[in-house]
Amino acid sequence: MANKEFDVVVIGAGPGGYIAAIRAAQLGFSVACVEKWINPAKKMVLGGTCLNVGCIPSKALLASSEEFEKVGHHLADHGITTSDVKIDIAKMLERKQKIVDKMTGGIEYLFKKNKITWLKGEGTFVAKSDGGYQIDVKPVQEADKPETVTAKNVIIATGSKARHLPGMPVDNKLISDNEGALSFDTVPKKLGVIGAGVIGLELGSVWRRLGSEVTVLEAMPEFLAAADAGVAKEAIKQFGKQGLNINVGVKVGEVKAGKNNVTVNYTDKDGKEQVLDVDRLIVSVGRVPNTDNLGLGNIGLATDERGFIPVDDHCRTKLPNVYAIGDVVRGPMLAHKAEDEGVLVAEVIAGQKPHIDYNCIPWVIYTSPEIAWVGKTEQQLKAEGREFKPGQFPFAANGRALGMGSSDGFVKVLADAKTDEILGVHVIGLNASDLIAEAVVAMEFKAASEDIGRICHPHPSLSEVMREAALDVEKRALNK
């Protein structure tokens, strides 16, 4: 039987991969996508890390834990009395899985709708051939058979996996990475988190709301160094008030797993030896690209020293018709960045001229308050020597935020001192993940802060804080 041939084969069906496959199919190409993910029910599914053990399930748990905290601590402010509030962890996890199943099933429907062939298994490059590139698909379930396909164009979208540290064996029971931390069957009385990045803060917040005493250990001397310094300062203040115990500048030493506990020895920022004894430990120290089992050497492609595949601005590798997107290439490991790159590559293959402005890709941390930003921070602009004017407005002066009982935080707009072009926008507060989209649109169109200031925003709404911060660049905020 002859090998199947496709115009485009995508390896990986996470947000970057499945979006790339759909866009390529929309453009008229014959498309296949290789994916090997098996869910807890032993069913093969699409969606990759993001949909199965990342973005989607973590946001489901964040929502559940936030509702629990509201009932226990905030409904009284509204005159609503409750008593004997309990959390059913099994029910919460069941809800999370139903959402995941709905989303992954939705991608399977989209594949059928767009006539995309799902090659079930693990994809590995075999060789370059006259027709393109040969890819072996090794089955991961007994019912499937191995096959080799030929692709005129290949898009590598294999994503990333949690970075594990030596001396901290992850069993996803006592010591967990992000995957295990999404499935605790009970609420740990004491929880340790190594790493105060996005994942560590979000998962720490989930279990803190549900009753855990959470201690976060971060090696970096500064908290949220990638965020604007003003936002980071406000964030650590708010998290501290909530009960998250965050320690920065620590050096983690020996980690011992007992029968029902984990002991972490570390040196604090003052050089003092400390011991943290917890019921469970989450290791959240970044992610590494999934590029080690692709057979890249068989086609003459190599990764850099960190395992990333070098690409140009249009995600082209050094080989003709081989592209790489998402977490396996340079840039932030964000699902929406991978999606944009997937669309870009499909359109490049079609001969179009797409473009991504990486400065306009937003970042979001789904804690409470949420944190979101796009563009440059104050510290980046100062390091560049670029003159700018800041504008800032608090949610505490916004009627909608007060009515919703979430008035912590602010919006900050940074604009060029001479041209008024918006250089960065930083939000810490309720619904920051949605509010930041206005800033992204403005920056994509090279808008000035005055442009946002002159646009009519609905009243009362949280979006008014964005407008007031933009007006404050010229010190003409109307409610400050």
Q: What is the pLDDT of residue 2?
A: 52
C-beta contacts of 222-229 below 8 A and 24+ residues apart = 222/248, 223/196, 223/248, 224/196, 224/365, 224/371, 226/363, 226/377, 227/363, 227/371, 227/373, 227/377, 227/426, 228/373, 228/377, 228/378, 228/379, 228/412, 228/424, 228/426, 229/377, 229/378, 229/379
Q: Are 72 and 192 in contact (CB under 8 A)?
A: no
**Among 295, 251, 325, 266, which residue's Cα sits nearest to residue 14?**
325
CATH number of 363-474: 3.30.390.30
The H or E element containing residue 339 is: helix 335-349
Q: What is the pLDDT of residue 143?
A: 81
Task: Please compute the mean of the pLDDT values over residues 108-132 and round it to a whole number.
Answer: 96
**What rounded mean pLDDT belongs to the chain?**
97
Asked if omega into 460 is within 30° of 0 (cis), the reply is yes
- Per-residue pLDDT tens digits for 249-298: 999 999 999 999 999 999 999 999 999 999 999 999 999 999 999 999 99
Domain ranges in the chain are: 4-54+94-162+288-350, 175-285, 363-474
Evaluate whether 175-285 and 363-474 have a shared fold. Answer: no
Q: Are 172 and 166 in contact (CB under 8 A)?
A: no
Q: What is the pLDDT of residue 1?
A: 41
Distance CA 308, CA 337 (A): 16
| DSSP state letter for 398 | -
Q: Inter-axis angle of helices 89-113 and 15-26, to 10 degrees?
A: 20
What order of strands is seen across the sheet that includes strand 363-365? 363-365, 370-375, 422-429, 410-416, 388-394
Please tell me whether residue 290 adopts helix, strand or coil conformation: coil
Which residues fall in the annotated binding site for FAD? 59, 123, 158-160, 327, 333-336
Distance CA 434, CA 183 (A): 27
- Per-residue pLDDT tens digits for 65-106: 999 999 998 999 999 999 999 999 999 999 999 999 999 999
- Per-residue pLDDT tens digits for 143-188: 888 999 999 999 999 999 999 999 999 999 999 999 999 999 999 9
What are the distances in angstroms from CA 320 to CA 112, 301, 311, 324? 29, 11, 12, 12
Residue 414 bridge partners (DSSP): 390, 424
CATH 3.40.800.10 assigned to domain 4-54+94-162+288-350? The reply is no
Catalytic annotation present for 74:
no
Q: What is the pLDDT of residue 142?
A: 84
- Count CB neighbours of 11 within 10 A: 27
Q: Note if the pTM is more than 0.95.
A: yes
Burial classification of residue 350, based on how many CB atoms lie within 10 Å of its CB (0-12 exposed, 13-18 middle, 19 or more buried)? middle
Q: Are 265 and 275 in contact (CB under 8 A)?
A: yes
Write down the CATH superfamily of domain 175-285. FAD/NAD(P)-binding domain (3.50.50.60)
Q: What's the residue count for the chain? A: 480
Q: Is the predicted pLDDT of residue 441 greater than 80, yes or no?
A: yes
| DSSP state letter for 455 | S
Distance CA 352, CA 336 (A): 21
The DSSP annotation for 70-100 comes to: IIIIIGGGGT----S----HHHHHHHHHHHH
**Among 61, 408, 353, 331, which residue's Cα sits nearest to residue 212?**
61
